[in-house]
Structure 1
Amino acid sequence: MQREKAIELLEKHVTTPHIIRHCYAVEAVMRKLAEKLEPEKIDDWGIAGLLHDLDNDLVDWESDMSVHGPKTVEVMKVEGIGNEQMYRAILAHNPANGSKIESTFERAMYAADPITGFINAIALVYPDKKIKSVKVKSIVKRMKETRFAAGANREAMKSIELLDISFEEFAELALNAMCEIDSVLEL
């Protein structure tokens, strides 16, 4: 029930197609991370991932990054969806809003957000542009190529290691999660 309501909110407030696909990718990665780290919280982690960019079309966060996250939390509270842990994780994915990363959930969100875009960028350089063509070793290799997907927050992705997950293991988990929803991602 909660996920259906989250999907309704996403479709109501986000109209940019690549952001919608990105939100589904982050949801998939967060669900896999929750399976590993906090299995009793899979739905909370997934919904937070799905809604983390809910404010994308509601605020001009590109000119003021500090507003990205708080508006999402505000909408979620008005709509009666989520809890304090979910709100804090959503805020934590964008430290520019003044939030601090204090929990496993928050750290996972901070790392999951950029890796989905990074993997997407890798898939798009393959001839077939299919996510199932991407290999974990390519993700690890591209991390070292700072000019590739230069805007990707590598520090955030690597911070997964603070949760005792190697970057290679994280890359594999994220890639597998995204491959499971390749048709949704249109990759």
Structure 2
Amino acid sequence: MSEINGYGIERDEALALVQEHVKSQNLINHSLAAEVVLRAMAERLGEDVEKWGLAGLLHDLDVELEPELATHTTRTVAILQEKGVSAEIVEAIKLHNLEAHPGEVRSTHFQHALAAGETITGLVIASALVRPDKSLASVKVKSIRKRYKEKAFARGANREIIAECEQCGIPLADFCELSLTAMQQISDQLGL
């Protein structure tokens, strides 16, 4: 356990933990995409880039072990608490899936950002995959905004959760651009 950054875990330890618990490369890529989007959100809002990035990277540790929304995040929370990860990061990760925690609500910018940031990655990736070249480089912001309005497109990308970006002070149009730009920066890692 690392105490250097005050979060109980360093970025390379967090990535190793993701790779230990998540075997699907697509799901690992989702975590990397969430990390980069959260870092970009934090930078824009003047928040802690490292903390927000770690939450994005670690948020789905149990996605293969607990694929049902009713239990997803429960093992992640236990794993991260055992590792001594910051309670604030653990709480944001827990609350990114409210279905497993009935009666609880997201109340901080950090919690809303993680939920919105990890969710929009699916919309951005789906927008790339329908392009002839399947490349993030050819995706335009206006395409993501158009796809956002198409409820049948990328159904798993819950539009209400994506819209929580506005509760953090980032308008939806700006959020689409910020997310696409961030993900384009790691397109090679994402294979897109």
Shorter-normalised TM-score: what interval?
over 0.9
Map Cα deviations across residues 79-107 of structure 1 (whole Å, 9 max, x no partner). 23x21110111012111022420100000
2:111 equivalent to 1:101: no
Q: 1:69 aligns with which of 61, 66, 73?
A: 73
Q: Which amino acid aligns with 1:7?
A: L
Match of 2:151 among 119, 132, 146: 146
Which AA in structure 1 matches 2:37? Answer: V
Gaps of 5+ in 1: none
Mean CA deviation greater in 121-130 or 96-105: 96-105
Which of the numbers 21, 38, 41 marks the counterpart of 2:29? Answer: 21
**1:57: Cα distance to partner?**
2.3
Q: Deviations over 1:20-67 (max 9, x none)?
A: 00000000000011112243x2111101100100011223x32xx232
Aligned residues with identical type, % of pairs: 42
- Corresponding residue of 1:184: 189
Root-mean-square deviation over aligned CA pairs: 1.2
What's 2:91 paired with?
Answer: 88
CA distance in 1, matches of 2:87, 2:13: 17
Q: In the alignment, residue 68 of structure 1 is paired with which amino acid?
A: H
Q: Pick from 9, 12, 31: which aligns with 1:4?
A: 12
Q: Distance in 2 between matches of 1:15 and 1:28?
A: 20
**Which segments of 5 or more consecutive residues in structure 2 lack a partner in the other structure?**
3-9
**Cα distance in 2 between the residues matched to 1:153 and 1:37:** 23
More helix by share: 1
Look up the SS of the partner of 2:75 in the other structure.
Answer: helix
1:131-153, Cα deviation, whole Å (9 max, x unpaired): 01000100111111111112220
Give, in angstroms, the shift of residue 70 of structure 1. Answer: 2.1
Superposition pairs for residues 93-132 of structure 1, below 5 Å? 93-98=96-101, 99-132=104-137
Normalised by the length of structure 1, the TM-score is: 0.93
Match of 2:82 in 1: 78
Query: Do the aligned partners of 2:127 and 2:144 also contact (CA within 8 Å) in 1?
Result: yes
- 1:47 corresponds, among 44, 54, 57, to 54
Partners of 2:178 and 2:134 lie apart in 1 by 20
| Superposition TM-score, scaled by structure 2 size | 0.91
Displaced runs of 4 or more, over 6 A: none
Q: Distance in 2 between matches of 1:36 and 1:88?
A: 22
